[in-house]
């Protein structure tokens, strides 16, 4: 029987659809192999899903198809072997957790991964569809095995210096997620405004969320105070909804509650928390202010713990940002309670007192199952035992923290501060805080410092671009500063270093910017390659 031969006509090889160009993918995948042939998406394409996350992925695909091409995929295949089918498989054992496999070949689209991987694989697939939505939807055959280089790929948004409504923050998250970023560091409290409702302390928002006006123009250079009241805050219900919205897109929101500095808005509301007792005002100018939380007063700690209790019920993030930057020690030096605390605890100077402050808050949060992250000033006077460090004054703090075996998020101002100029100030339509960070410089930043050993490099868990908003009073201005530089950050965070190429990146932006146009994002038009 083994010699039995079929005498019928040979099976016809499946007709291969003509090849088309592979659309560019941003961020560049870890590994992509283009194959000949193509797949055409039509309303007749069947779908086959396995797992709840796969169904969700299909829903997202259908929403996209409906919005952009006016149809949905309704036909379900009986098995994963049927031709002309999109097969989405949730595989709980797939590694790495955020990775995915997308194979388009043999008249099938197959996507495999865990929840996050399926989400990212879908983002890739959507980029492979032709950007002009009037065209036939033909996608090149391809095999993609993709995974991120860093687990933490973030952007920071400062909503204190200027307030932006939830709707805008959602749009911000949409774009992040499309380009596979997964951490939104939400800067919620500062001298110029307290933006999160805290039920136990209603004055934080009743008083602390509004200021009398804003400084327009650079201090000392024809600046004026506009006397236009500015304010706003998010209710807890709005923030819970935002957290859920972000989670659906695999974005974790890391809230920042600043301490012990940048505290004027809180002090204006509760002056007993400052060393002098006030009165204090929510600031309408920018910079660093001498009035900070009193480190000698027990009420300060009770207050911050109670605030954090409410913050933790809203934000499930395993890390909580406690600020820690730019805290002048002037008021502590003159404050009898602070001096007494230093004596009692054998603290040799005010930096040690700040370290005491942060360590106490760390202990409190660790007790609630959360870890803290703080700006690199938390290294001064002794780093709290489990704290992660956000290196912003260049890379130095991050290098020091990694050597101490602490986790680090790189966010050096000289490479990724999105409030810095993108070109010569005279050619820019809006006033920026200063600095000079053209797209190419942001793109070419390498987050793993060469002076660290391979072992030490493992502590650099990721990196992030920061957007401070002193001079950005409108959403359009935020868009202008963030894009396309945030896309450069997205690629550095996701793609292998050896897959990065600035000219190729600029080439890929054509499709990306087309998509951003469709979404109403008012990005800055980048200079062409070679400039």
Asked if 163 and 195 touch (Cβ cutoff 8 Å), the reply is yes
Q: Which two tokens stand for residue 93?
A: 């054992």
Site for ligand TNX in 70-99 (CB under 6 A): none
Distance CA 391, CA 448 (A): 12
Among 325, 349, 476, 501, binds ligand TNX (CB under 6 A): 325
For residue 218, the 8-state DSSP code is -
Q: Which two tokens stand for residue 188?
A: 């919620």
Distance CA 395, CA 23 (A): 36
**Unique residue bearing structure tokens 């309408």:** 284
Smallest distance from the beta carbon of 446 to ligand TNX, in angstroms? 21
Q: Which two tokens stand for residue 240?
A: 């819970």
Smallest distance from the beta carbon of 288 to ligand TNX, in angstroms? 7
Q: Which two tokens stand for residue 237?
A: 């219900």
Site for ligand TNX in 240-299 (CB under 6 A): none
**Unique residue bearing structure tokens 């703090």:** 397
Distance CA 229, CA 67 (A): 39
Among 98, 197, 395, 419, binds ligand TNX (CB under 6 A): 419
Nearer to ligand TNX, 356 or 392 (CB): 392
Smallest distance from the beta carbon of 58 to ligand TNX, in angstroms? 41
Nearer to ligand TNX, 157 or 509 (CB): 157
Q: Which two tokens stand for residue 465?
A: 């671009």
Residue 468 as a binder of ligand TNX (CB under 6 A): the answer is yes
Distance CA 300, CA 43 (A): 61
Total chain residues near ligand TNX (CB under 6 A):
9
Nearer to ligand TNX, 101 or 411 (CB): 411
Q: Out of 326, 446, 451, 527, pick the active-site residue.
A: 326
> 326 catalytic, yes or no?
yes
Binding-site string for ligand TNX from residue 368 to residue 407, where x marks contact by CB under 6 A and - marks none: -------x----------------x---------------
Nearer to ligand TNX, 238 or 325 (CB): 325
Smallest distance from the beta carbon of 468 to ligand TNX, in angstroms? 3
Q: Which backbone phi and psi does 442 adopt, to 5 degrees?
A: -65, -45
Among 433, 438, 501, 502, binds ligand TNX (CB under 6 A): 433
Q: Which two tokens stand for residue 54?
A: 């796969």
Among 82, 241, 310, 326, binds ligand TNX (CB under 6 A): 326
Nearer to ligand TNX, 113 or 397 (CB): 397
For residue 272, the 8-state DSSP code is G
Q: Does the CA dihedral 400-403-407-412 come out positive or negative? A: positive
**Unique residue bearing structure tokens 């959602």:** 170
Site for ligand TNX in 469-488 (CB under 6 A): 470
Smallest distance from the beta carbon of 175 to ligand TNX, in angstroms? 22
**Unique residue bearing structure tokens 């998020």:** 409
Nearer to ligand TNX, 355 or 391 (CB): 391
Triad 434, 435, 436: Cα angle to 5°: 125
- Using CB under 6 A, list all residues that contact ligand TNX: 325-326, 375, 392, 417, 419, 433, 468, 470
Active-site residues: which are they? 326
């Amino acid at each position: 029987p083994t010699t039995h031969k079929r005498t019928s006509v040979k099976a016809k090889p499946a007709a291969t659809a003509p090849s088309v160009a592979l659309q560019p993918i941003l961020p560049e995948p870890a590994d992509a192999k283009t194959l000949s042939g193509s797949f055409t998406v039509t309303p007749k394409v069947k779908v086959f899903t396995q797992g709840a996350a796969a169904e969700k992925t299909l829903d997202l695909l259908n929403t996209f198809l409906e919005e952009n091409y006016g149809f949905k995929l309704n036909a379900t295949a009986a098995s994963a072997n049927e031709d002309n089918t999109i097969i989405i498989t949730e595989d709980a054992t797939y590694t790495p957790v955020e990775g995915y496999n997308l194979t388009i070949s043999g008249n099938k689209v197959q996507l495999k991964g865990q929840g996050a991987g399926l989400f990212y694989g879908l983002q890739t697939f959507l980029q492979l569809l032709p950007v002009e939505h009037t065209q036939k939807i033909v996608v090149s055959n391809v095999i993609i095995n993709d995974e991120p280089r860093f687990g933490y790929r973030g952007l920071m948004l400062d909503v204190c210096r200027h307030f932006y409504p939830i709707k805008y923050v959602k749009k911000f998250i949409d774009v992040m997620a499309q380009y596979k970023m997964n951490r939104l560091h939400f800067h919620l409290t500062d001298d110029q405004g307290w933006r999160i409702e805290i039920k136990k302390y209603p004055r934080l928002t009743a008083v602390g969320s509004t200021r009398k006006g804003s400084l327009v123009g650079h201090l000392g250079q024809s600046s004026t105070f506009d006397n236009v009241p500015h304010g706003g805050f998010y209710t807890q219900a709005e923030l819970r909804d935002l957290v859920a919205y972000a989670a659906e897109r695999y974005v974790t929101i890391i809230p920042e509650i600043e301490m012990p500095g940048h505290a004027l808005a809180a002090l204006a509301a509760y002056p007993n928390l400052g060393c002098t007792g006030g009165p204090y005002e929510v600031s309408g100018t920018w910079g660093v202010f001498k009035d900070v939380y009193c480190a000698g007063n027990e009420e300060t700690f009770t207050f911050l713990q109670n605030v954090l209790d409410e913050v933790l019920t809203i934000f499930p993030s395993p890390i909580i940002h406690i600020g820690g930057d730019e805290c002048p020690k002037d008021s502590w030096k003159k404050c009898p309670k602070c001096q007494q605390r230093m004596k009692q605890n054998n603290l040799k100077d005010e930096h040690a007192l700040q370290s005491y402050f942060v360590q106490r808050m760390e202990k409190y949060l660790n007790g609630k199952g959360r870890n803290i992250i703080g700006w690199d000033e938390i290294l001064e006077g002794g780093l709290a035992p489990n704290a992660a460090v956000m290196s912003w004054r260049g890379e130095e703090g991050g290098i020091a923290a990694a050597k101490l075996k602490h986790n680090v998020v790189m966010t050096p101002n000289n490479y990724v501060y999105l409030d810095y100029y993108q070109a010569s100030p005279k050619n820019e339509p809006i006033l920026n805080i200063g600095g000079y960070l053209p797209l190419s410089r942001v793109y070419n930043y390498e987050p793993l410092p060469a002076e660290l050993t391979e072992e030490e490099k493992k502590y650099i868990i990721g990196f992030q671009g920061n957007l401070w908003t002193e001079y950005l009073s409108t959403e359009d201005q935020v868009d202008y500063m963030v894009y396309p530089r945030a896309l450069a950050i997205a690629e550095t965070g996701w793609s292998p270093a050896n897959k990065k190429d600035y000219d190729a990146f600029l080439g890929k932006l054509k499709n990306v910017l087309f998509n951003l146009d469709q979404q109403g994002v008012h990005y800055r038009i980048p200079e062409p390659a070679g400039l």
